[in-house]
Structure 1
Amino acid sequence: MTRAIVMLACGLTALGLAGCDNKPVASGPPLPVVTVSKPLQERITEWDEYTGRFVAVSTVEVRARVSGFIESMHFKDGQIVKQGDLLFIIDQRPYKLAVDQAQAEVGRTQAKLDIANLDLERATPLVRNQTVTEREFDTRKSTQRDALAAMESAQASLKTAQLNLEWTEVRAPIAGRISDRRVDPGNLITGGQSGATLLTTIVSVDPIHFVFDGSEADFIRYLRLAQTGARQSSRDAANPVAVRLADETDFKHEGKMDFVDNAVNAKSGTIRGRAIFDNKDGLLTPGFFGRMRLYGGDHEALLLPDGAIASDQSNKIVLTVADDGTVGVKRVTIGPLVRGLRVIRTGLDANDRVVIEGLPRARPGQKVKPEEGKIEGAVAQAAPIRPSRAAPATAQ
């Protein structure tokens, strides 16, 4: 009986083991799901953005050319003035006296010249019949020339005195907005070419410049585009620009390029550029901060949403998915936003399937379950302002 029990136990054990072999094998966790899409490929008008400030086309420090007491002031602090407007009057009395004295000196030298001319005229026929010696005739001729020179010198002194009198009226050398007065009437000021007292300053208003710095990489790209004929250099053409102020969201103020510097700054690796804007309403003020966009040319471009672009230290990367679901990494160079999408300059192919959603769930080298998505621009692209090919660059 014991033998039968042992055999039964063995049979049950074998049956149990056979039953275990028929159980299903446990599978791993499901693959993470991500949304992928090929980059949007379109022909775009590219605008490059830069930060800069407005500066006046002309800035003048108003100083007097003659010294004296300020007698009166003829402007209101901060007002708009025209070229030639009267600003200050310096005490004119000593300069009027100098003019009178110079006029008297001209009269005196004119009288001497008249006598010298008469003496020379009388001596001319006499020297022929030897009534007057050659020496006497030469002396009278020399006296006449000396009197003529004295008269010309007196006339020059009179013009100087009249000019000094004119300079007692300090007038606006340019049109623009004037600053506040730095000297009140009644004060003694110093005039002249050096050490002259600063009276006020004037800055021109219309037009106005916008100055910015562009990177060396952008400058090289512009040169390459100019070589291929895709975009004219801003040195040769007035490429269009637009600026928005600190409180604006749209680029409302339109202008054009009018200057690019002749060298790249060795310390900063940037090159200075300048645009010019009409400013008839006077809104654009020297010193205003602004964000400017510059026409960068028309070309075919690959576009991705910013959410599909990650950062790896100082590099920008995107994650791609191969046909077998394996996640890969590509280092890219990015450009500006166009229609709400980021321009991808280098590093990506038009047929790459890029992870556009679920980026945190994708790991390089691992497999994912890709689902096809679609990339669409967030906003409509504004009609580009294209530069005129016929018009030459503005020279300022």
Structure 2
Amino acid sequence: MKFQCLFIVMILLAVNSLTGCSKEEQVIEEIRSVKTFTVQELSTGQVRKFSGIVQAAESSALSFEVGGQVEQVLVDIGDRVQKEQILAVLDKEPYELLLKSAEAELVRARANLTNKKADYEREEAIFKEGAGSQKRLDQAKFGYREAGAGVRVATSKLNLALRDLRKTTLFSPYDGSIGKRMIEPHMEVAAGQRLFEIDAEGDMEVEVNIPETVVNQITIGSETAIVLTVQPDQKIAGTVSSIGTMAETANAFPVKVSLPEPPADIQSGMTAEVTFPLQKKNGQPGYLLPPQAFQVGKESGSAYVFIYDAASSTVKKTPIRMSGAKNNQAVVVDGLAAGDIVVVAGLGFLSDGMQVRLMEQPAPVKPEAFDLK
């Protein structure tokens, strides 16, 4: 009897052991493998790339306001300069001579004013005594006023001579760096002749010429992706800051793209490729999604997807809003962002928060994929 009981206990233990294993295997089987898709393509499908030139947001061409012979050039291409730093100096001698002439003319005008004043006062005294004539008094008064005008003219000439003398020294208008130098010592320069190009420190931008067929599909404030020719693996974020209203060469319009956070080693004159999102008048930006990646909701244009969370290895049921289709794919205008990992098969077997494992690694996001919402 004892042997029979022992045998029965051993059978029960074996059954329990087998049952436990099957449950454990069943739990493992419930962690479903899923196939995924990485959101990356812009829904408009309309992105265009154009080449441009990097430049400082503030840049100036410098010249003397007076002409003359260059006496000194104190900076060269690439030099960093500070505001009010002297860049170049003209020969001052001709302007110093003009200043002396203006001073002498002012002295002569003042002396003439003194004489004319004395004449007027004398004629006025005689007229009051009844011995003079109105005509002589009027002539003296006119001469006195004319002499006063002569002093004012001479004073203006003196001020202009002083100003011209000051303008023989060319100063930097702000902190920056010398981009171009077209001046050498001893050369004759004219007033207004371009001699330096200076780029201010700080903000940078890329200027691009956009064809007339495309410019109306670009909007101020649009986000762009910029790649420098010297750094092809680095993408820089940019924003369209201005769009020209007048066509230039080959019916192209100038468009400027500002760089909110330019790299430290970026320099004016570098070439860059700018990717612009093109907006149709009635279009909405979003992302393309294959039909097997979503299930349609009850309301028109509504649906939901399962987005994979790599941190918890779970999926989250997320509502999305669609607006039409393109290239046999849905255009999702709300609910998704570049880089989201979306399940593309077996959605009917998934639930919110369910733990899954990836069947394969998701494809990386393309460099030109950026959210325009």
* TM-score class normalised by the smaller sequence: 0.5 to 0.7
CA separation of 1:280/1:162 partners in 2, compared to 1, >3 Å: closer, same or farther?
farther
Question: Alignment length, in residue pairs?
Answer: 273
1:91 equivalent to 2:71? Answer: no
Pairing 1:207–2:203 present:
yes
Match of 1:348 in 2: 328
Displacement of 1:158: 0.7
Contact 1:50/1:213, CA 8 A, preserved across alignment:
no
Task: Please give the secondary structure, in 1, of the residue aligned with 2:53.
Answer: strand
Matches within 5 A, 1:295-306: 298-302=285-289
Mapped contact 1:81–1:178 kept (Cα < 8 A): yes
Q: What are the equivalent positions in structure 2 for 1:69-108 lying under 5 Å apart?
A: 69-108=69-108
Q: Deviations over 1:127-183 (max 9, x none)?
A: 344332110111111111211121111111111211121121122345432146544
How far 1:49 moved relative to its partner?
Answer: 4.9
Residue of structure 2 in register with 1:109 after alignment: 109
* C-alpha distance in 1 between matches for 2:223 and 2:121: 74
> Normalising by structure 2, what TM-score?
0.58
- Tell me, what secondary structure is at the counterpart of 1:71? strand
Shift of 1:109: 0.7
CA distance in 2: counterparts of 1:154 and 1:124, whole angstroms: 27
Q: How does 1:47-196 map to 2 (within 5 A)?
A: 48-56=47-55, 57-179=57-179, 181-185=181-185, 187-193=186-192, 196=193
The Cα offsets for residues 159-217 of structure 1, whole Å up to 9 and x where unpaired, read as: 121112112112234543214654443x1413225xx4x54333345322212345667
Contact 1:51–1:212 (CA<8 Å) still a contact in 2?
yes
Partner AA of 2:165 in structure 1: L
Corresponding residue for 2:242?
259
For residues 111 and 42 of structure 1, do their structure 2 counterparts lie closer, same or farther at Cα, with a shift above 3 Å needed?
closer
Change (3 A) 1:378 1:161: same
| TM norm structure 1 | 0.56
In the TM superposition, residue 45 of structure 1 has moved relative to its aligned partner by 7.8
SS at match of 2:50: strand
1:264-279 residue pairs with structure 2 within 5 A? 271-278=253-260
1:364-379 mapped onto 2 (5 Å cutoff) = 378-379=363-364
Aligned partner letter, 1:119: D
Q: Is the 8 A contact 1:240 1:257 kept in 2?
A: yes
What code does the residue aligned with 2:156 have? A
Q: Are 2:38 and 2:365, in contact at CA under 8 Å, matched by a contact in 1?
A: no
Q: Is the 8 A contact 1:206 1:280 kept in 2?
A: no
**Is the CA contact 1:127–1:134 (under 8 Å) kept in the aligned structure 2?**
yes
Query: Secondary structure at the residue paired with 1:96?
Result: helix
State the Cα RMSD in Å: 4.3
Query: Contact 2:70 / 2:187 at 8 angstroms: preserved in 1?
Result: yes
1:52 and 1:113 map into 2 onto residues whose CA distance is: 68
Mark the structure with the bigger radius of gyration.
1
CA-to-partner distance for each residue in 1:93-114, whole Å, 9 max, x for gaps? 2322221221121122112112
Q: Which 5+ residue runs of structure 2 have no aligned equivalent?
A: 1-34, 279-283, 292-323, 331-345, 347-358
In the aligned structure 2, how far is the partner of 1:42 from the partner of 1:129? 104
Q: Distance in 1 between matches of 2:182 and 2:250?
A: 38
One-letter amino acid matched to 1:130: G
Rounded Cα–Cα distance in structure 1 between residues aligned with 2:38 and 2:223? 27
1:215-266 deviation per Cα after TM superposition (whole angstroms, max 9, x unaligned): 66755556xxxxxxxxxx41xxx33334221243555433321112336789
Q: Which residue is 2:266 aligned to?
A: 284
Residues 1:155 and 1:303: Cα distance change in structure 2 (over 3 Å): farther
